[in-house]
């Protein structure tokens, strides 16, 4: 059976993505690849994949122009395809989530389904066609898969999260990184980044996007309390995130504390460092993303899942170690050989209203 391909006359990549591909010497190659693998509908295997996930990542722009990433969770099946062109999400952001209120009819939305135990991931970008009290339905614009590189393998376990009435910790809003946030970033081996760029002349190639980034613990460098530096390793060369940042520099990071269920949202303004001594010193990086922190939201213990590290991505052997991340790497190795977090229960609510 012949698989669907890109259904539109214009490129599947917007201007920023094309500029980034051109700078990397991949423009002509990626145009042909993109027309084959970026689709305007979900393949059957993607529809089945989304329905088996306990969480999905979402990225969108808020009314003030900021871009944020968040995580929505539920019993597998909470995300399910109505047909090849529509994905239903039976979950909504909780109050205190930076995207609470932004996910409404007509909003451009990026979604990422990622299965940590198997390192599978698939992307879907589109527009919210309808929101109701239980969730929302997304009309597909772009649907495509990603390779398993840089994904750390984790075993996920559900836990009970107290309701607001039971005294769950309230979100903490900061204008810069505090010591607790810096510590989480420095030990993180995974983050998710949301970005956004709309092109009125080619709406199907733009919109919101959310992507995964992984590395050895310490791969995100902390320069003081207001600047983060992230390497951009060799990838699929679509340049979805980098291309969005070339065109629109605002982005949202999400760091997950898999032991406590705390989500750390960081709104940033980014610039690309394409070359030079700083890039060369960051072993394995092809370029860097320097990000100025604009706002931080910490949501303690809100995620109804906990993750036990099973193994680091084997691809990370191609990346180096940098000043300050050696001890974090040793801690990750110890965690990979340890046991699952204690006090795990199987009773947990959806992250919904």
Rounded to whole angstroms, the Cα distance separating 71 from 307 reads 14
Rounded to whole angstroms, the Cα distance separating 189 from 144 reads 24
Rounded to whole angstroms, the Cα distance separating 289 from 353 reads 35
Residue 231 has pLDDT above 90, yes or no: yes
Residue 315 has pLDDT above 90, yes or no: yes
Rounded to whole angstroms, the Cα distance separating 90 from 352 reads 8
Residue 309 has pLDDT above 70, yes or no: yes
E runs forming strands in 274-343: 287-299, 305-311
Residue 203 has pLDDT above 90, yes or no: no
pLDDT at 107: 97
For residue 268, give the H/E element and its range: strand 262-273
From 261, 235, 307, 13, select the one nearest 160 (Cα to Cα).
261
Question: How confident is residue 201, by pLDDT bands cut at 50, 70 and 90?
Answer: confident
Tell me which architecture the domain covering 15-336 has in CATH.
Answer: Roll (2.30)
- Give the β-pairing of 153-158 and 172-174: unpaired
- Can you tell me the mean pLDDT for 217-246? 95
pLDDT tens-digit map of 137-188? 999 999 999 999 999 999 999 998 876 555 567 999 999 999 999 999 999 9
Q: Specify whether the backbone of 17 is left (phi greater than 0), alpha (psi in -120 to 50) or beta.
A: alpha
pLDDT tens-digit map of 39-91? 999 999 999 999 999 999 999 999 999 999 999 999 999 999 999 999 999 99
Question: How confident is residue 320, by pLDDT bands cut at 50, 70 and 90?
Answer: confident
pLDDT at 165: 55
pLDDT at 168: 67
Residue 212 has pLDDT above 80, yes or no: yes
pTM equals: 0.91
Rounded to whole angstroms, the Cα distance separating 274 from 286 reads 8
Partnered with residue 138 across adjacent β-strands are: 87, 128
* Domain extent listing, the chain: 15-336
From 346, 262, 266, 254, select the one nearest 303 (Cα to Cα).
262
Mean pLDDT (the chain) is 90
């Amino acid at each position: 059976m012949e698989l669907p391909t890109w259904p539109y006359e214009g490129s599947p990549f917007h201007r920023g993505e094309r500029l980034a591909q051109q700078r990397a010497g991949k423009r002509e190659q990626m145009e042909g690849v993109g027309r084959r693998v970026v689709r305007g509908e979900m393949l059957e295997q993607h529809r089945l994949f989304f329905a088996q996930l306990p969480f999905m990542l979402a990225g969108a722009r808020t009314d003030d122009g900021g871009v944020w990433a968040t995580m929505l969770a539920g019993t597998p099946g909470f995300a399910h395809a109505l047909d090849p062109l529509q994905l239903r999400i039976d979950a909504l952001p909780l109050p205190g989530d930076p995207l609470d209120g932004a996910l409404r009819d007509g909003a451009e939305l990026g979604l990422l389904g990622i299965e940590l135990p198997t390192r599978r991931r698939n992307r879907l970008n589109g527009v919210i066609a309808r929101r109701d009290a239980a969730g929302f339905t997304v009309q597909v614009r772009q649907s495509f898969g990603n390779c398993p590189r840089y994904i750390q393998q984790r075993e996920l376990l559900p836990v009970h999260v107290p309701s607001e009435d039971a005294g769950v910790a309230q979100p903490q809003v900061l204008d810069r990184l505090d010591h607790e946030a810096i510590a989480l970033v420095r030990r993180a081996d995974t983050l998710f980044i949301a970005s956004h760029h709309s092109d009125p002349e080619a709406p199907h190639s733009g919109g919101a996007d959310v992507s995964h980034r992984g590395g050895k613990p310490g791969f995100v460098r902390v320069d003081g309390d207001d600047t983060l530096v992230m390497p951009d390793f060799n990838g699929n060369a679509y340049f979805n995130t980098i291309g969005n940042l070339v065109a629109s520099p605002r982005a949202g990071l999400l760091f997950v504390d898999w032991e406590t269920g705390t989500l750390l949202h960081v709104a940033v303004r980014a610039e690309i460092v394409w070359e030079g001594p700083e890039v060369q010193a960051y072993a394995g990086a092809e370029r860097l993303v320097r990000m100025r922190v604009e706002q931080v939201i910490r949501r303690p213990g809100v995620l109804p899942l906990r993750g036990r590290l099973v193994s680091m991505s084997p691809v990370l052997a191609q990346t180096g170690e940098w000043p300050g991340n050696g001890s974090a790497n040793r801690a990750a190795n110890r965690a990979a050989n340890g046991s699952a977090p204690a006090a795990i229960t199987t009773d947990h609510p959806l992250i919904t209203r």
